[in-house]
Chains A and B, each alone.
Chain A
Amino acid sequence: MKNLYQPQPVKIEKIEFLSPSVKLLRLKKRLNFVPGQFVLAGLWGYGEAPFGPASSPYQKQYFDLMVRKGGTVSAAFHSLKKGDEITVRGPYGNGFPLDFFKGKDILMVSGGCGIPPIASLTEYLIKNREDFGRIYLAYGATNPDEILIKDMVDRWQKSVKVLLTVDAPTPDWRGRVGFVTELIKEMKVNPLDTVVVMCGPGPMVAAMEKILKSIGITDRRIFISEERKMQCGIGKCQHCATGEKYVCLDGPVFNYDEIDKNFD
C-alpha cells in the first residue's frame, strides 16, 4: 500500500523576491504535472500548504513556486536560502482541460497571487502555440511592485497579448490603472470560440463572470482555479469540500457551471 502522505525532500535551487511580499522558490526536481494541478509543499516543523507550480510543465530540471508570506508555512519558506530542503507531495487535482482548450481562443484572467497556475498554463500555450487561436492574458496587481510576472512579460508578449493593470499606480508607472474587468474592452472576443481561465480573488472572478456572461460566453467555457484550505490532498480530511465537490480531487479547476450553485 502506497503511503500518499509521505513527502519527498527537494532542494531549493534559487530563492528570490518577486515582489515585496512574494518569493520565488525554484525547486530542483522534475515534476510531472498538468498546469492547474497543485502540490503540497512543506517544511518539517511547520507543516504543509498547497501551491500551484508556476513554471512550464515541460521544464525537466526544476519547478517554481510563488510564495506569498501569509501563513505559517509560507512565512517559514521565506526564511530559507539556496540549498535548503523543503518537501513536496503531489501533484494533486485535475489541472486545466487542455484538450478542450485546443483550437479555441484563450482568455486568461488573473489577479495578485492567483498567477502561478496561469503562468504555467501560459508556458504550455506558448509551447503549443499553433494549437490555439488568439491568446490573451489580463493580469491585475494592487500596485506595480506586486506584478509577479515582470520577468516573463517581454518573452510572453511575443506569442500572447499580455495586458497589465494596477489598482494604485506609482509615479513611474506608465501602464493601465483600474480593475482587470476593464481590460476586456481591449480584447477581440468571439464568444462562441473562446474559453476563459481565471484564478484570483473571489470578487474579481464574480465580476468577470458577469461581464463574460453578458457578452455571450457560457459558464461551461469559463474555468476557475479554486483556493481552499487543504490538509490531505486526497479527499479525506474534508477541509476543501464545497457543495458536492472536493477541490483537491474534483478541482482545483472547475467550470463555472459546476460551482455556480455552490454556497461556500
Chain B
Amino acid sequence: MTVVLEKSNIPKLTEALSRQYLVVDYEKDKTALSVKGYFLAPREKLFSFFSKTKKLSVRSSPKRKLLLFGLDLADIEALGQLDEIMTKPREDYFYLRKRRNSLIVGVVEHSITMPVATGDLILEKINPSQYRAVSLTKAGQEIVKNKFFKKEKNPEILIYPEEKSNLRELAQDSELLAEAVSWARVKNHPIWEKLEKICLGCGICAYVCPICHCFSMEDEIEIDGSASHRCRYWDACVLNNFSRVAGGKNFRPALKNRYFNWFYHKFVRAYKEYDNSQCVGCGRCQKYCPAEIDIEKVLSEIIRDYEKSLSAPTG
C-alpha cells in the first residue's frame, strides 16, 4: 500500500495543519534566505537582565510547534548538517530548543534515489497529480493520518530524474573538495588573489547559505538602562572585523585570508569535523552574490588545477 496525496489537496492540507501548527509554506514563499533563520535567527535576544531586580531571564521561544512545509532535498540535507553542527560536540541550547519544537515536511519534485536522513515527512512526486508520502518520524506518521492522505494499492509511479546541477554534483565529492581546497592554499593558487579583487566582502554568501552558521553576540541596553539583552546575530567570516581582538590585532587582515577561510571551513575543516563539505549545492550564494562570484566555477577551477597537478610529473 502506498500513501498518496493529491497535488490539488496540498493547499487544503497546509490549511488544516495550520490549525495545529504554525505553518510556513516554504515552497510557496521561497525567499533568498534558507530555513536556517527559523532556528538560528538573523538576530535574537538570548537573555535579558534587569538592573533593578538583578534578575536574569532566558528569553522564551514560541510554544506553538513550527511546521516548515515544502523544503527540497538540498535544504533538507543542509538542515540535517546544521542539526549535527549544533549538537556536536556540545549542544547549542537556543538552536535546539526551537529545532526540537518543529516539524519538517519536504516536497520533492523528482524521484528520490537516496535515503533521506532529516525531516519528518517527505512528499515525493510520483505522477503529474500525486505525491507519495513517506513519514520518517512519529510526528510524520501523525500528519499522514490526515484525511487528505489516501492509501492506494497501485498508484501510477513515474520516474522523474533530478534536474542536473553541476554544483550539487561537485558538492557531493567532499573528499576531493577537501584535498583540492587544501592544495590550493598550500600552493598559493592565484584564485585567492583573483577573488580578493572581485569580492566586495559583504557577507551575503554566508547569510544566504543554509549551513553557514557563524555568529556574534552583543548586548543591547534599554534606553532608560532598566534592562540589557544579550543578543546573537548572524556574522560572516569574510567581514573585516571577524577575527579582530581587543587591542586591534586582526588575525585575518586581508580579504584574501578571509575568503580563503570561508572555503577552508566549508570544504576542509568541515570535512575533518563531520565527514561532509558544508555545501549542498543549493546555489543561493551563486545567485545572490552582488559581485557575481560563482562558487561552481571557483571550485571547478581549483579541482581542475589540483587534478592537473596530480597527473603532472614530479621532481
Q: Give the contact stretch, choosing among B84-92, B118-126, B140-148, B302-310.
A: B84-92
B198 at the A interface (CB under 8 A): no
A5 in contact (CB, < 8 A): yes
Task: Assess whether B91 is in contact with A241, with CB atoms less than 8 Å apart.
Answer: no
Contact A1 B235 (CB under 8 A): no
| B58 close to A4 (CB less than 8 A) | no
Q: A44-B228, A234-B92 are in contact. Are A241 and B219 (CB under 8 A)?
A: no
Contact for B269 among A9, A237, A244, CB less than 8 A: A244
In the complex the two chains form, is A2's CB within 8 Å of B245's CB?
A: no
Interface hits, A237-251 → B, CB 8 Å: 237-239, 241-244, 249
Judged by a CB distance under 8 angstroms, whether B29 is at the interface is no
Name the residue in B58, B214, B244 with the highest tally of chain A Cβ atoms < 10 Å from its Cβ.
B214
> Binding site of A, secondary structure by majority: helix, strand, loop or mixed?
loop
Q: Is A61 positioned at the interface, with any CB of B under 8 Å from its CB?
A: no
Q: Which chain A residues (161-215) contact chain B, with CB distance < 8 Å?
A: 202
Render A52-73 as a binary contact track against B, CB cut-off 8 A, 1 for contact. 0000000000000000101111
Tell me how far the C-beta of A227 lies from the nearest C-beta in chain B, rounded to whole angstroms: 6
Q: Given the known A-B contacts A241-B261, A264-B251, are A228 and B58 also in contact in the complex, defined by CB atoms under 8 Å?
A: no
Q: With an 8 A cutoff between CB atoms, is B21 at the interface?
A: no
- Judging by beta carbons under 8 Å apart, are B265 and A238 in contact? yes
Contact status B215-A1, CB under 8 Å: no
| Residues B221 and A231 in contact, CB atoms below 8 Å apart | no
Provide the residues of chain B in CB contact with A137, threshold 8 Å.
Answer: none
Among B93-101, B127-135, B155-163, B292-300, the stretch in contact with A = B93-101
Indicate which residue in B90, B230, B243 contacts A229 across the interface (CB closer than 8 Å): B243
Q: Which residues of A contact B85 (CB under 8 A)?
A: 236
The reply on B14 being an interface residue by CB < 8 A is no
Q: Which of A71, A232, A234, A264 contacts B261 (CB 8 A)?
A: A264
| Chain B residue contacts of A231, Cβ below 8 A | 215-217
Cα–Cα distance between A3 and B230 once the two chains are bound (Å): 14
Question: Are B219 and A45 interface neighbours, CB within 8 A?
Answer: yes
Question: Using a Cβ–Cβ cut-off of 8 Å, how many residues does chain B contribute to the interface with A?
Answer: 47
Q: With the chains together, A71 CA to B54 CA distance in Å?
A: 24
Query: Is the Cβ of B219 less than 8 Å from the Cβ of A44?
Result: yes
Instruction: Please state if B219 and A46 are interface contacts (CB–CB under 8 Å).
Output: yes
Contact A45 B228 (CB under 8 A): yes
Contact A249 B217 (CB under 8 A): no
Question: Contact between B90 and A70 (Cβ–Cβ < 8 Å)?
Answer: no
Contact partner of A239 (CB less than 8 A), chosen from B94, B185, B242, B268, is B242
Q: Annotate B281-293 by CB proximity to A: 1 below 8 A, 0 otherwise.
A: 0000000000000
Partner of B93, one of A3, A243, A244: A3
Q: B151: CB under 8 A from chain A?
A: no
Q: Which B residues are CB-close (under 8 A) to A47?
A: 217-219, 230
Query: Does B47 count as interface, using CB distance less than 8 angstroms?
Result: yes
Known: A5-B93, A44-B228, A264-B261. A239 touches B219 (CB 8 A): no
> Cβ of B58 and Cβ of A242 under 8 Å apart?
no
A1-41 contact mask (Cβ, 8 Å, vs B): 1 or 0 = 11111100100000000000000000000000000000000
In the bound assembly, the distance between CA atoms of A46 and B85 in angstroms comes to 28
Residues of A within 8 A of B269 (CB): 241, 243-244
A48 on interface, CB distance cutoff 8 Å: yes
A100 interfacial by beta-carbon distance below 8 Å: no
CA distance A193 to B96 in the complex (A): 48
Give 1 or 0 for each of A61-92: 1 = CB within 8 Å of chain B CB: 00000001011111000000000010000000
Please tell me if A253 contacts chain B, counting CB pairs below 8 Å: no
Is the CB of B36 closer than 8 A to any CB of chain A? Answer: no
Tell me which of A1, A71, A72, A241 contacts B96 (CB under 8 A): A1
Is there contact, CB below 8 Å, between B268 and A244?
yes
- Chain A CB within 8 A of B257 CB: yes
Asked if B228 and A238 sit within 8 Å, CB to CB, the answer is no
Nearest to A113 among chain B residues (CB) is B247
CB distance B93 to A237 under 8 Å?
Answer: no
> Cβ of B215 and Cβ of A236 under 8 Å apart?
yes
B64 within 8 A of A: no
Please indicate the chain A residues that have their CB under 8 angstroms from the CB of B228 in the complex: 44-45
Residues of A close to B54: CB separation below 8 A: 9, 85
Residues in A neighbouring B51, C-beta threshold 8 A? 44
CA distance A87 to B247 in the complex (A): 22
Closest CB of chain B to A233's CB: distance in Å?
Answer: 9
| List of B residues within 8 angstroms of A70 by Cβ | 246-247
**How many angstroms from the CA of A104 to the CA of B230 in the assembled complex?**
45
Verify if B213 is at the interface (C-beta below 8 Å from A): yes
Q: With A4-B90, A249-B89 given, name 7 new contacts (CB 8 A).
A: A5-B93, A45-B49, A45-B219, A228-B245, A232-B217, A234-B92, A237-B217
Sort A-B residue pairs by CB-CB distance and give the 10 closest, nearest first: A71-B246, A238-B214, A70-B246, A45-B228, A3-B93, A44-B49, A70-B247, A234-B90, A44-B228, A45-B221
Can you list 16 A-B pairs with a CB-CB distance of less than 8 A?
A: A1-B96, A4-B91, A4-B92, A4-B93, A6-B93, A44-B219, A44-B228, A48-B217, A234-B90, A236-B92, A236-B213, A238-B214, A238-B265, A243-B264, A244-B268, A263-B185
Interface residues of A (CB under 8 A from B): 1-6, 9, 44-49, 68, 70-74, 85, 202, 227-229, 231-232, 234-239, 241-244, 249, 263-264
